[in-house]
Amino acid sequence: MSKRLPTLFVNHGGGPLPIIGEPSHVDLTNSLKHLTQTLTFNTTIAAILVISAHWEATKFTVLTAEHPSNPIPLYYDYSGFPPESYTYQYNPPGAPKVADRIIALLHNAGLVAEKAQQRQRQGYDHGVFIPLMLSFPDADIPVLQLSLKQGLDPAEHLLAGQALAPLRSEGVLIYGSGMSFHNMQHFMGGNSGNSASIQFDNWLNEALLAKKNVVDDATTTTTTTGTTTGTGMATTSRLERLTDWLSLAPVPREAHPSEEHLIPLFVVAGAAGEDTPCRNIFRGEVLTQKVSSFAFVDVDEDGTGVKRKSSDL
């Protein structure tokens, strides 16, 4: 039985809307609430490392509470929502020794990293506390946040994930928080079933779930998930497909005018490597746009790993 924790990429939705109960977020909210039922964790979660779309720094930076008496505050980095959404509380313990381990692993991979001082960051942003309030509401598991690095280079964030892969065997859940599709004009436009989000979502699922040695010359082809037309995958490995997403994916800049909401997935996928199977754990609409959440989870000899339901697909 595998003792490595999965790595996750979840959609955190719009500001506090998953908790407020906004109708288009109901299915996403339910998926976050039932995360620990959807996934089988074969080892104890000692800490959760969140990579949120909402923090970029000049170098990879780790934020966590250094002492129980001084928890990390919440940073309500949204506006125009009901007053109660500015009173949420989520005060998990920190994991300073894990933060040191993260920095050492990144340094060993040639990546500059440092521990944040609380004055450098106002607190955990909504990409951290909103999904964790739903997935791990007891706030009893130590939490850390890792920034993205400014420039948002895909290869660099994949490398960061690869460097952090040993954490999976050390009880650290690597938890990416972003949006698989993030175009504010489309979110606000009310175009249900928008073709850009569907095209990008289909490509992203194929890019992550397909087996190795997929070759797509932009013509109709049969792959592991059926017959598709022109997904644009000309490279053979999952990490290569992600690295080249801007040239391979359909309508990439319509899906992500800026890529900060996609980049947490690169850290998560890097930590999973090529050998960990990927599963779709949520596929639905948020604010009328198609989005997907993913788990990279080892499959044990008895076939367990992710409890899959037809509603997840």
Q: What percent of the chain has pLDDT over 90?
A: 79
Better pLDDT: 135 or 2? 135
- Residue among 41, 80, 164, 65 at smallest CA distance from 123: 65
Count CB neighbours of 175 within 10 A: 30
**Would the pLDDT of 230 be above 60?**
no
In this prediction, residue 43 carries a pLDDT of 86
The domain limits of the chain are 7-192+258-312
In this prediction, residue 256 carries a pLDDT of 97
- Give the tens place of pLDDT for each residue, 55-65: 999 999 999 99
Q: Residue 42 — pLDDT band, cuts 50, 70, 90?
A: confident
Burial of 240 (0-12, 13-18, 19+ CB in 10 A): middle
**Would the pLDDT of 219 be above 90?**
no
- Give the tens place of pLDDT for each residue, 167-182: 999 999 999 999 999 9
Count of residues for the chain? 313
Strands 278-286 and 226-229: unpaired
Burial of 145 (0-12, 13-18, 19+ CB in 10 A): buried
In this prediction, residue 300 carries a pLDDT of 64
CB burial of 91-126 (b: ≥16 within 10 Å; e: otherwise) equals ebbbbbebbebbbebbeeeebebbbbeeeebebbbb
Q: What is the mean pLDDT of residues 256-260?
A: 97
**Would the pLDDT of 190 be above 70?**
no
Min mean pLDDT across 19-33, 204-218, 271-285 is at: 204-218
Amino acid letter, 37: Q
Q: What is the mean pLDDT of the chain?
A: 88
Question: What CA–CA distance (Å, rounded) separates 235 from 215?
Answer: 6
Amino acid letter, 311: S
User: What's the token pair of residue 243?
Assistant: 């690295």
Q: Phi and psi of 131, rounded to 5°?
A: -65, -35
- Give the tens place of pLDDT for each residue, 93-127: 999 999 999 999 999 999 999 999 767 789 999 99
Strands 172-178 and 47-57: parallel
The CATH-assigned architecture of domain 7-192+258-312 is 3-Layer(aba) Sandwich (3.40)
Kindly list the strands in the beta sheet with 289-296, ordered across the sheet, starting from the edge strand earlier in the chain: 113-115, 60-63, 143-149, 47-57, 172-178, 7-11, 289-296, 278-286
Q: What is the mean pLDDT of residues 40-46?
A: 88
pTM for the model: 0.89
Can you say how many angstroms the Cα of residue 134 is from the centroid of all Cα atoms in its chain?
Answer: 15
In this prediction, residue 280 carries a pLDDT of 97
Q: What is the mean pLDDT of residues 271-278?
A: 96
